[in-house]
A and B are shown apart, each in its own frame.
Chain A
Amino acid sequence: MLDVVLPILIFAALALALAGALRRIGLWRQGRAAPVQLLAGLAAMPRRYLVDLHHVVARDKVFANTHVATGGGFVLAALLLIAVHGFGLESRVLAWALLAATAVMFVGALRVAARRKDPPARLSRGPWMRLPKSLFAFSVSVFLVTLPAAGVLPAGFGGWALAAVLALVVAWGLGEMFFGMTWGGPMKHAFAGALHLAFHRRPERFGGGRSTGLKPLDLNDASAPLGVGKPVDFTWNQLLGFDACVQCGRCEAMCPAFAAGQPLNPKKLIQDMVVGLAGGTDAAYAGSPYPGMPVGEHGGDVHSPIVLREGRALVDADTLWSCTTCRACVEECPMMIEHVDAIVDMRRHLTMEHGNTPNKGGEVLENLAATDNPGGFDPASRMNWAADLDLPLISARGSAEVLLWLGDGAFDMRNQRTLRALVKVLRAAKVDFAVLGNDELDSGDVARRLGDEATFQSLAARNIATLAQYRFEHIVTCDPHSFHVLKNEYPALGGHYDVSHHSTYISQLMAAGRLALGQWSGGKVTYHDPCYLGRYNGEYEAPRNALKGIGIKVVEMERSGFRSRCCGGGGGAPITDIPGKQRIPDMRMAEINATGADIVAVGCPQCTAMLEGVVGERAEVLDIAELVAAQLAAAPAQRVKEEVTA
């Protein structure tokens, strides 16, 4: 009997899966066009899956092995199932291979079940709780129906009753694994995920590359939407990317806004986008909600606004404005979903179409348009901090080896100390450097992340025009935000530069023996990785090398390197200031204090401001430039003496 039933079941499930796949593809295709290499993407997909995706999954060794067993076992079992039972190929070898595949899958399913026994809070429940059972159903039933084919049991063993039961269990397994894959069960991640990897909007991320710069809007095209107001405004491969989510919640576990109790959970946001593309409400969502917001009150469809000014839609504006754009979610996501891109896309719509940037957002954007800096300071006062330093202006010299990019920290009294320290270090190493002076404008980082692409592009275009007038080899800056924007976001607008963070440059100066440095004799030091230097640009080593160069042994925090936690200062978050239960910098300072460090070394004006704003007992916040400059002791004095004798 099974000889008849199994092929029917298998091909029925496949046909339904195919229909579901076409429907799902139709849902994604509602999005806007995107430049995607279809064939090259599909060809690259297996490698992207086996290497790049696995690289992220393998951060959790136990689960990586579980997934290899379950997923690998299933793919092999499914192919052999179609061959052996679908087409009825009579081959002992294939049958034994199928037995082995289902056995491996079964072992994987055991591990999945163990994890689901008492799942961590980050995992979604709901349909995901039945997944291990479905895996068992598929692997066990396929194993059993294959035993006769492998010659272990005689054909017709157990009679029709057993065959009927087995057929039912096979149907369950096929229902979850084939039908559910394209009609929206937990297995949807396999289908959507594979295509998402193939048609990813940032193919540069695969093969060890990095792609973190936001994509520019074409403001000359008056018909293009300004950001994303409705789910259809996303590109189709963004919609596909949302659908690939496995709801593992690794993003949620890393999100600083979620931890601070602000109304953002990256996982829920992606699921809300899935609700948006398929239509419906979030009532079926079975994971952690946005802190402080009950599930089931939001919903929408692909042609309705995502955010309403009054009332409820898919997402509340506060959710979008809670993000610090720290990219911890993107870094952690095993499906390589681009949360930050989506959030900025939606912010663009709120800012550029509705002028709804919360709190100080509007004021900051107005300042940027009118004074080219977020604080509204007189642009002619940008160099006041260096009145006594006699800094060489590149406009007077035309060229320099290093162009020192000051950033808006030039207006901030705390950051001015860092800048002065950096100048001291550069002078000690006799670096040929110059500054743009008052011709420098804000890099546009904050404007862009607040969704004001127009102001960003205006600032960027003018900065690029200024920079084009001069010759220099590198740009060095102590602001990772300027660093990122100059390095990764200006190229799309025609500005290509060799940009270094000051920690990178200082560590190079040290390696070249250009700095005479004393040895650190102070207290314990830990290092806080800035998001825009670390996760955005992969620079984890240089700051540590610079500290090592003055004899500092960095006491690492639990969350450091690519898992460093944001200070709360990115993405305009201090400007939009969405309330939560606690402040992100307070949480970070608690982590710093937990190391017992007396000093936290930083490399970003934002981090400095956020961490210094923490009240109560805390480690001292010092920039790497300040720590290095303090060890220069003897060097400048010698130089003065030389000059005097000469």
Chain B
Amino acid sequence: MRREDIKQVQGLKVAALVSVGRHPVTGRPRRADFDARAVEMGLSLVAPENMSLLHAGECSPERESALRGYLGMGIGALDVLDQPPEADIVPALEARLREMGARLVLCGARGEMGEASGLVPFLLAERLGWSLVSGLAQIESVDGDSMTVLQALPRGQRRRLKVRLPAVVTVDAAAQAARQSAYGPARRGELRRIEGEVTPDAAARDWNTAPAKKRPKRLKIVKAASARDRFKAAAAKAEGGGGQVLTGLSPQAGAEAILKLLREEGVLR
């Protein structure tokens, strides 16, 4: 779908949470890819002036130039909640979002630096008490208190969902790529620094951090005699085999079934 085809929604307050990314090859700070896609999704819904950008973290010159990458998408200002690295940013974000009266919060599925756990949207939605949808491919329409979205599933499948607003949604590689960041708007855009309450990250205090190790990848050996076989092997759906579909269960029974599976697989002990 082309950008122009999407109807702009009037009166919807949209906020995108943006972080400082890290280029996968050179490690240079940049606008994070998923976050930029989230901003792009927001711009498909509302005009740039109705879109708020929110960043929680430090603001050094290097990080500032990376954040300006989002302003280069044509948005006039970006709010920076000044938070030291050891802070838990979720309470600060929650307070700011409530203050702004945002109805839709767009986030990248995970950051490219720091913990990059992908948990912020979940924790935020929990605290706000809003619905959360992950892996959005597209927002099809917004209609008063609800919106219709397409959620991306593996292998290019899409699921259409109706989501009640306010909501937090996350965006990953399935969403439309972000528009080019332009130098002029990036340079002119305003970075508004906002002092806020700082909550120390209690959970992280006891953690030990160590450099990540590359995990060995399981080799997928394809024994194919012809190109057709190779193509089939590459394009085939994963065969679950042992899976089962449970329908008509009570939440209690469903949870027990999931727990049983996790124990069998050794995820929980």
Given A310-B4, A370-B28, A370-B30, A353 and B23 touching (CB < 8 A)? no
The reply to whether the CB of A182 lies closer than 8 angstroms to some CB of chain B is no
CB distance from A415 to the nearest CB of B (A): 20
Q: Which of B23, B25, B187 contacts A222 (CB 8 A)?
A: B187
Q: Determine whether the beta carbon of A351 is less than 8 Å from that of B182.
A: yes
Given A351-B183, A352-B184, A378-B25, 12 more contacts at CB 8 Å? A353-B183, A354-B182, A355-B180, A355-B181, A355-B185, A357-B180, A365-B180, A366-B30, A366-B181, A371-B23, A377-B25, A453-B183
A355 to B68, CA, bound (A): 14
A351 to B186, CA, bound (A): 12
The reply to whether the CB of B117 lies closer than 8 angstroms to some CB of chain A is no
Q: Determine whether the beta carbon of B72 is less than 8 Å from that of A355.
A: yes
Q: Determine whether the beta carbon of A353 is less than 8 Å from that of B184.
A: yes
Q: Which chain A positions have C-beta within 8 A of B25?
A: 370-371, 376-379
Q: Which chain B positions have C-beta within 8 A of A371?
A: 23, 25-26
The reply to whether the CB of B179 lies closer than 8 angstroms to some CB of chain A is yes
Q: Determine whether the beta carbon of A356 is less than 8 Å from that of B180.
A: yes
Chain B, interface size category, equals 10 to 19
Given A222-B187, A226-B184, A355 and B26 touching (CB < 8 A)? no
Of the listed residues B4, B26, B28, B72, the one surrounded by the most CB atoms of chain A closer than 10 A to its CB is B26
Q: Which of B30, B182, B187 contacts A355 (CB 8 A)?
A: B182
CB distance from A490 to the nearest CB of B (A): 20
Q: Determine whether the beta carbon of A361 is less than 8 Å from that of B182.
A: no
Q: Determine whether the beta carbon of A355 is less than 8 Å from that of B179.
A: yes
Question: How many inter-chain contacts with C-beta < 8 Å in the A-B complex?
Answer: 52
A376 to B28, CA, bound (A): 13
A-contact bits for B174-215, CB 8 A (1 contact / 0 none): 000001111111011000000000000000000000000000
The reply to whether the CB of B124 lies closer than 8 angstroms to some CB of chain A is no
Q: Which of B4, B23, B183 contacts A370 (CB 8 A)?
A: B23
Q: Could you tell me how many residues of chain A have their Cβ less than 8 Å away from some Cβ of chain B?
A: 24
Residues of B at under 8 Å CB distance from A? 4, 23, 25-26, 28, 30, 72-74, 179-185, 187-188
B-contact bits for A526-546, CB 8 A (1 contact / 0 none): 000000000000000000000
A sample of 30 cross-chain residue pairs with beta-carbon separation below 8 angstroms, ordered by A number, consists of A222-B188, A226-B183, A226-B184, A351-B180, A351-B182, A351-B183, A352-B183, A353-B182, A353-B184, A354-B182, A355-B72, A355-B73, A355-B74, A355-B180, A355-B182, A356-B180, A356-B182, A361-B180, A362-B180, A366-B180, A370-B26, A370-B30, A371-B25, A371-B26, A376-B25, A378-B26, A379-B25, A379-B26, A452-B183, A454-B183
B-contact bits for A375-388, CB 8 A (1 contact / 0 none): 01111000000000
A458 to B73, CA, bound (A): 20
Give the residue name and chain of the B residue nearest to A381 (CB).
B25
Q: Which chain A positions have C-beta within 8 A of B188?
A: 222
Give the residue name and chain of the A residue nearest to B178 (CB).
A362
B-contact bits for A281-311, CB 8 A (1 contact / 0 none): 0000000000000000000000000000010
Given A310-B4, A370-B30, A352 and B182 touching (CB < 8 A)? yes
Q: Which chain A positions have C-beta within 8 A of B180?
A: 351, 355-357, 361-362, 365-366
Q: Which of A334-390 contact B (CB under 8 A)?
A: 351-357, 361-362, 365-366, 369-371, 376-379
Q: Which chain A positions have C-beta within 8 A of B74?
A: 355
CB distance from B30 to the nearest CB of A (A): 6
Q: Which chain A positions have C-beta within 8 A of B183?
A: 226, 351-353, 452-454
CB distance from B247 to the nearest CB of A (A): 45
A388 to B13, CA, bound (A): 59
Give the residue name and chain of the A residue nearest to B179 (CB).
A355
A454 to B65, CA, bound (A): 13
Q: Which chain A positions have C-beta within 8 A of B187?
A: 222
Q: Which chain A positions have C-beta within 8 A of B73?
A: 355
CB distance from B27 to the nearest CB of A (A): 9
A81 to B239, CA, bound (A): 96
Q: Which of A407-462 contact B (CB under 8 A)?
A: 452-454
CB distance from B166 to the nearest CB of A (A): 30
A361 to B180, CA, bound (A): 9
Q: Which chain A positions have C-beta within 8 A of B23?
A: 370-371
CB distance from B210 to the nearest CB of A (A): 24
A357 to B180, CA, bound (A): 8
CB distance from B76 to the nearest CB of A (A): 14
Give the residue name and chain of the A residue nearest to B74 (CB).
A355
CB distance from A9 to the nearest CB of B (A): 54
A127 to B3, CA, bound (A): 44
A453 to B184, CA, bound (A): 11
Q: Which chain A positions have C-beta within 8 A of B4?
A: 310
Q: Which of A572-629 contact B (CB under 8 A)?
A: none
B-contact bits for A208-246, CB 8 A (1 contact / 0 none): 000000000000001000100000000000000000000
CB distance from A354 to the nearest CB of B (A): 6
CB distance from B183 to the nearest CB of A (A): 4
